[in-house]
Structure 1
Amino acid sequence: MRLLPIHIVRPGMKLGKKIYNEEGLVLLAEGIELTQTLINRLGKYGVDFIYIADPRTADIIIPQLLSEETRFKAITEIRTSFRKLMDNSIKNKTAGYNQLGKNFGEVMNLIIDDLSSHQDAMIMLTNMSVMDDYLFQHSLNVCIYATLLGMAYGYNRNDLMTLGLGSLLHDIGKTQIPYEILRKNAQLTDDEFDCMKRHTEYGFKLLKDEPNIPLLSAHCAFQHHERLNGSGYPRGIEGTEIHDYAKWIGLVDSYDAMTTHRVYRRAMLPHQAMEIIFTGTETLYEKKKIELFRDKIAIYPLGINVTLNTGEMGTVVGLNNIFPQRPIVRVLQTPGGEEIYAPFDVDLSKKLSIMITGVNDIA
């Protein structure tokens, strides 16, 4: 299969990997033939990249980090709990919700169990879902990223539970932000942005007294927009004043925001987002955390189309854990754009004179 941006997908192509609906259930199964109506609908609902079946790359296997049952339970719990808090906020009811700790604790146990079976897997794009609200899928994405990084860093299960709950609920304070600000598809005014920034304080207040929610998880909601140099919010703290869990979440929160479709811009590809992340080394994010993230992220995801400095074009068919920026590429086209009768693989970690110069240049 190959990973294509939605704008170059054509009718007649067949879906190579499932797409999930807003409830975490399968919306479109692999093998379905895409029509222009389906393509337009996926683009409208924020699916920027999809996997397309291609016999030349049929051997690509994309790891399924979460089971369908876990994904369904996680998305359902996020949607149900967050919407209840949103409704309470609109009706000026008490914001607390005593089932948060119990319900999300059960979800986190399932997520940790699933990810434990794939903790050596590279982190791939996770936005193959149609969602009615960015907040819900983003919360799950950040949790997956942060938990996998916590495993790679060596945290024990109790640590992972605290980090995981903090990442899953890091944006829960946004349930208290007026809907028209939360979903505005234009630049926020200064007053609106000041209101949006208060979601960190609201999140802390929602979580700090909740049964079965560790206080450190509440501090993740409070601190995930703080930055090393003190340029963050809400308190402008810096360096060691920021808890490590919040630093991990701040890093992956920024990355997922850049690689996920937003109402005001299309998603970036992983290598583009990582370039921006690296510009914040030791000013916004700790170098050692960025480097571990770089080593765990699939900068060029399986199935993505690339152009090499030889002029040849192909698809990434394998990842190199030691050198993520130098994957295995199956060459499919000549420099002149002609299809190659017998495609061949090039391991860029061994062919150091060959490098990727472009992405998604072929359909």
Structure 2
Amino acid sequence: MRLAILNNNLEGEKIAYTIYNEDGIMFLKSGTQLTQRIIKRLQDMGINTVYIYDKYGDDSLALQEVLDSQIKIRLIKALNELFVEIKKNNTVNYEKSINIVEEIINNINLSENAIILNNFTKNKDMFSLANHSIDVTLVSIIIASYLKYDAKKMINLSLAALLHDIGKIIEEDYQKHPEAAYNLLKGNVSFKPTTYISVLQHHEFEDGSGPMMIQGEKIYEFAKIINISDLYVNFILGKDNLLPHEAIEKITTLGLNKLNEEIFKGFINSIRPYPNGLKVRLNTGDEGVVISQNKNILSRPIIMITSNNNYEIVNLEFELSKLITEVLL
């Protein structure tokens, strides 16, 4: 199994995971052979990279999702219904919000093979907003797990992450959506101040360059986690469609003057730049596939090198003279 750019060169290859449309209905089943017609349809639906089965496919490269697609579909629908209620009633149902958050926390897969898949088509605005909100929640939970959040903090952070963009439902002016969300949540006494303040501040940066121009310790910790999670999800699943290592590099260029050092460290040490199944080239010229991760240094995974039907395992944590110079798609 390996990750590849979706183009006509993949004609005849078999897709390694199921793709669903915006209604949660299966569009393309895992194992389906790609044709030019299917490739064009997927591209039109906003999917630009896919995992395919190939000669590297074995149990060590089994594809796992951070959140099982069937569970995610159900939660996207539930969140979508909540968004419709918000637009209609101008209020946020706390019980329905907390139920979605608890189910995400109870089902998130934090194993090294788990990745956030680009396996939902992007046609309906509300569906896309719900999908994005859940993805931001997933990344926030991954970072918070590294930071060793307790259950109470995890739930309050996750609520803020899940609802960070609800202002877009009732406010057309993009610049005003955090304030609109803040006012909605503050109107329900069930939501804690840490939740609605984090939603209000989720576009702020350490140096005061955000829309509210607040900085440093004046920005609540949850907001800092949601900020970096939102950036990452937009880079890998939004219009930029970057690979994980590209998104991490782009976020890194913001510098620690914009990002909180502790939160950035949590991000760098919990989000894998080279997920399993990625084909890479080393500075030695050798080509191989990432087959496993090194927990202590995510930027230096374990590679299976292939040459003339021979296989060699290279652990970059210990072979310091070798490094990844290129991702091959």
TM-score (norm 1): 0.83
The equivalent residue for 1:96 is 91
1:28 and 2:22 aligned? no
Asked whether the 8 Å contact 1:5–1:360 carries over to 2, the reply is: no
State the shift of 1:16 in Å: 1.0
The equivalent residue for 1:173 is 167
Mark the CA change 1:30 to 1:123 in structure 2 (over 3 Å): closer, same or farther. Answer: closer
The equivalent residue for 1:63 is 64
- Give 1:253's match in structure 2, choosing from 227, 230, 236: 230
State the shift of 1:58 in Å: 2.3
**How many residue pairs were aligned?**
325
The equivalent residue for 1:275 is 249
Mark the CA change 1:287 to 1:25 in structure 2 (over 3 Å): closer, same or farther. Answer: farther
The equivalent residue for 1:184 is none
Asked whether the 8 Å contact 1:9–1:39 carries over to 2, the reply is: no
Asked whether the 8 Å contact 2:66–2:116 carries over to 1, the reply is: no
Asked whether the 8 Å contact 1:13–1:53 carries over to 2, the reply is: yes
The equivalent residue for 2:319 is 351
Amino acid at match of 1:95: N
The equivalent residue for 1:127 is 118
- Give the whole-Å Cα distance in 1 for the aligned partners of 2:157 and 2:223: 8
The equivalent residue for 1:204 is 182
- Give the whole-Å Cα distance in 1 for the aligned partners of 2:81 and 2:21: 15
Q: CA RMSD in A?
A: 2.0
Q: Specify the SS of the correspondent of 2:30.
A: coil
- Give the whole-Å Cα distance in 1 for the aligned partners of 2:194 and 2:8: 44
The equivalent residue for 2:258 is 284
Mark the CA change 1:104 to 1:9 in structure 2 (over 3 Å): closer, same or farther. Answer: farther
The equivalent residue for 1:186 is none
- Give the whole-Å Cα distance in 2 for the aligned partners of 1:8 and 1:301: 24
- Give the whole-Å Cα distance in 2 for the aligned partners of 1:8 and 1:302: 24
Structure 2 unaligned residues grouped into runs of 5+: none
1:162 and 2:156 aligned? yes
- The more displaced of 285-294 and 3-12 is 3-12
State the shift of 1:343 in Å: 3.1
Asked whether the 8 Å contact 2:16–2:53 carries over to 1, the reply is: yes
State the shift of 1:212 in Å: 3.4
Q: Specify the SS of the correspondent of 2:14.
A: coil
- Give the whole-Å Cα distance in 1 for the aligned partners of 2:54 and 2:244: 22
1:153-197 deviation per Cα after TM superposition (whole angstroms, max 9, x unaligned): 12111111110010011011111243xxxxxxxxxxxxxxxx311
Mark the CA change 1:69 to 1:210 in structure 2 (over 3 Å): closer, same or farther. Answer: farther
Asked whether the 8 Å contact 2:62–2:113 carries over to 1, the reply is: no
Asked whether the 8 Å contact 1:281–1:290 carries over to 2, the reply is: no
1:296 and 2:270 aligned? yes
- Give the whole-Å Cα distance in 2 for the aligned partners of 1:122 and 1:285: 27
Q: Specify the SS of the correspondent of 1:108.
A: helix
1:320-356 deviation per Cα after TM superposition (whole angstroms, max 9, x unaligned): 11111111122235xxxxxx32233222112211111
The equivalent residue for 2:79 is 78
Asked whether the 8 Å contact 1:307–1:356 carries over to 2, the reply is: yes
Structure 1 unaligned residues grouped into runs of 5+: 89-93, 179-194, 334-339
The equivalent residue for 1:109 is 102
Asked whether the 8 Å contact 1:281–1:287 carries over to 2, the reply is: no
- Give the whole-Å Cα distance in 2 for the aligned partners of 1:332 and 1:122: 21
Asked whether the 8 Å contact 1:49–1:128 carries over to 2, the reply is: no
1:320 and 2:294 aligned? yes
Q: Specify the SS of the correspondent of 2:317.
A: coil
Asked whether the 8 Å contact 1:101–1:211 carries over to 2, the reply is: no
Q: Specify the SS of the correspondent of 2:217.
A: helix
- Give the whole-Å Cα distance in 2 for the aligned partners of 1:239 and 1:144: 25
- Give the whole-Å Cα distance in 2 for the aligned partners of 1:138 and 1:286: 23
Q: Specify the SS of the correspondent of 1:331.
A: strand
Aligned residues with identical type, % of pairs: 29
Asked whether the 8 Å contact 2:112–2:293 carries over to 1, the reply is: no
Mark the CA change 1:211 to 1:44 in structure 2 (over 3 Å): closer, same or farther. Answer: farther
TM-score (norm 2): 0.91
